[in-house]
Structure 1
């Protein structure tokens, strides 16, 4: 797909998300605002498709009316489904925007559903994918989350909505909820040291409340496998705000999909109640949950890729250190000595640090015996005076 067409679709996607929340509010004023945005969404979809089909970059669209843009689609043999309702949507938008006339919520919901059908039909004809599939395949990075969502869409196409919703939740777990899964701490004692905590947190659970990450708490509170997930709601809200994701939609997604947890590699456990199975295994709920989880994953991906770290491509020779010199716990000669430089040790120098006495410079060093790189207990980290 052309980058310009994809960028237009990204703008349309952002507008669609805003219009969706307004349309579903049930309030006349919000629904009227929603229909104005909804028409912008539809028009951007049309422009993206025409851009994609304009191989020679010869078509001028700036001065054309909305009806003329639909005519351009028909000239290119693109199916324009529900064209009467789509044209009526444009007229209703003019009435609402330029004359301040309120729209009835029921009518707006009908326009919204028609707009989705219209957009999916023309996109499927031109690029072979529906709107959500485009974002999935062209933007979401490769990985297990992407594979699970693809499989979820296939299951939904077969009307297996339980399987499809479970797969969406698995993608969410791998991307985010794993950070609240305390399963790795099930045998840990309450006085687990710092290195033990860091080691176990690498398997997940680092964002869960600290008091849940021990055997005593779990023996008393974990009654089913999915109880290993202990979400800190305040951290979840903070993450959503930082990433620009709707907290309400995220919490809705967690309620409208079965709970899942992966305890061992490819060992999954599922938990859902009978009322959920009776009421939420349908295409409407699947489409909503798909939209929410895609938005969540894309926003998280965008946030993660925005981080910058110092480059480590180049290196400089490590400053020399000398046998018998003390290694201190902190950059001060008055701090505890954690060890001495021994003959036969390898070392790395990670940082140069000013001491608490500003006239002193220290090297932050890592020492370990030759041939025993994997024996963590024999490693030593600390500060050595740079003389």
Structure 2
């Protein structure tokens, strides 16, 4: 199966979910949106099938002709639910072009038929599960993709608990790990360690942790406003993110890379999972796709390694570009050069200062070196 087929199947599933959501609204005006979205979902799916079997379908092909062209290619098989889906198309035409409101009970029957059509045709023609076939293959190799593949396998084996836990791990890797305050539990880190945390400032404190962290998942202290801002930059639907966050159990990854799962019985109840797992999985896949698309589009500078020679041993590393600021570290005996990424004038007009960052013997040297200490 090629990438374009996967894209169209993902689109069909997305449109179907939107249509189903519209149908759930008590406002009858949403029935118009529901039937149009469901019909668009079916058409996207039929185009995917047509491309896959190389049926003669083009932009002028009528809706009912999709079935004829595809059936010719898959004979002796035939696409199921033809009459019901043609009826959906009729309802859609009446609603869109003549303003006739669809009947709610008929829409509710149609949405079931559409779902069954997707499942049966995906299995018989494409040899895949419609619920789990996804654009995961479009993702770059990496941990997010690996976790989604694990969740996909769990979904296919009906292990819905493992599926939603895997999806929550994706959220953790993509977003939540940045809000881990465990590194602050004994002392307040300085320099690069503090800069790497997105958690609110009040939570980066040993006393806060002592008073508020009751289990490992409490080490994640989220800044909701910042998360929303970052998600929007990455092209992720913030409502979808928080929906998944509410529907899935919290997870945490310890320093030794072991996963801790909060087995929330309400979220992992079998009846609940039957209603939520499919939504969670497809939504997380969509989020991962959005994140990867944005990250691919962003052009980053090339990272080289730049070194500055030191004039002597025991050079002080200042917290700021100011020789009167706190000395955060001193270069060890034997160090003759150090990594640097830029040079800048000092806060008091002196300098210049060299910004340095290097791990040496388990200690981070991070801050500024005065120009007089440079060879």
Partner SS for 2:300: coil
| Residues 27 and 105, structure 1, Cα contact 8 Å, conserved in 2 | no
Deviation at 1:42, TM superposition (A): 1.1
User: What TM-score results when the alignment is normalised by the length of structure 1?
Assistant: 0.77
Q: 2:61 aligns to what?
A: 64
* Residues 137-146 or 206-215, more deviating: 137-146
| Residues 56 and 69, structure 2, Cα contact 8 Å, conserved in 1 | no
* 1:305 corresponds to 2:303: no
* 1:188 corresponds to 2:175: no
Take 1:51 and 1:251, find their aligned partners in 2: how far apart are those partners? 36
Partner SS for 1:116: helix
Partner SS for 2:133: helix
Take 1:374 and 1:33, find their aligned partners in 2: how far apart are those partners? 63
Q: 2:139 aligns to what?
A: 140
Deviation at 1:99, TM superposition (A): 0.6
| Residues 181 and 228, structure 1, Cα contact 8 Å, conserved in 2 | yes
Q: 2:164 aligns to what?
A: 165
Deviation at 1:323, TM superposition (A): 4.4
Taking a change above 3 Å as real, the CA distance of residues 210 and 135 of structure 1, as seen in their structure-2 partners, is: same
Q: Which runs of 5+ in 1 are unaligned?
A: none
Report 1:365-376 matches (<5 A): 366=356, 373-374=360-361, 376=363
Partner SS for 1:280: helix
| Residues 179 and 207, structure 1, Cα contact 8 Å, conserved in 2 | yes
- Number of matched pairs: 366
| Residues 136 and 146, structure 1, Cα contact 8 Å, conserved in 2 | no
Taking a change above 3 Å as real, the CA distance of residues 274 and 365 of structure 1, as seen in their structure-2 partners, is: closer
* 1:272 corresponds to 2:264: yes
Taking a change above 3 Å as real, the CA distance of residues 70 and 278 of structure 1, as seen in their structure-2 partners, is: closer
Report 1:1-387 matches (<5 A): 1-9=1-9, 11-12=11-12, 15-16=15-16, 18-54=18-54, 59-77=56-74, 79-185=78-184, 187-189=185-187, 191-198=188-195, 201=196, 206-263=197-254, 264-274=256-266, 277=269, 279-282=271-274, 284-312=275-303, 323=311, 336=324, 345-347=336-338, 350-351=341-342, 353=344, 362=352, 364=354, 366=356, 373-374=360-361, 376=363, 381-382=368-369, 384=371
Deviation at 1:12, TM superposition (A): 4.0
Take 1:183 and 1:365, find their aligned partners in 2: how far apart are those partners? 27
Deviation at 1:96, TM superposition (A): 0.7
Partner SS for 2:262: strand
Q: Which runs of 5+ in 2 are unaligned?
A: none
User: What TM-score results when the alignment is normalised by the length of structure 2?
Assistant: 0.79
Taking a change above 3 Å as real, the CA distance of residues 229 and 347 of structure 1, as seen in their structure-2 partners, is: closer
Deviation at 1:9, TM superposition (A): 4.3
Once the two structures are superposed, what CA deviation does each residue of 1:69-109 show, in whole Å capped at 9, x if it has no partner? 11111111254222222111111111111111112344334
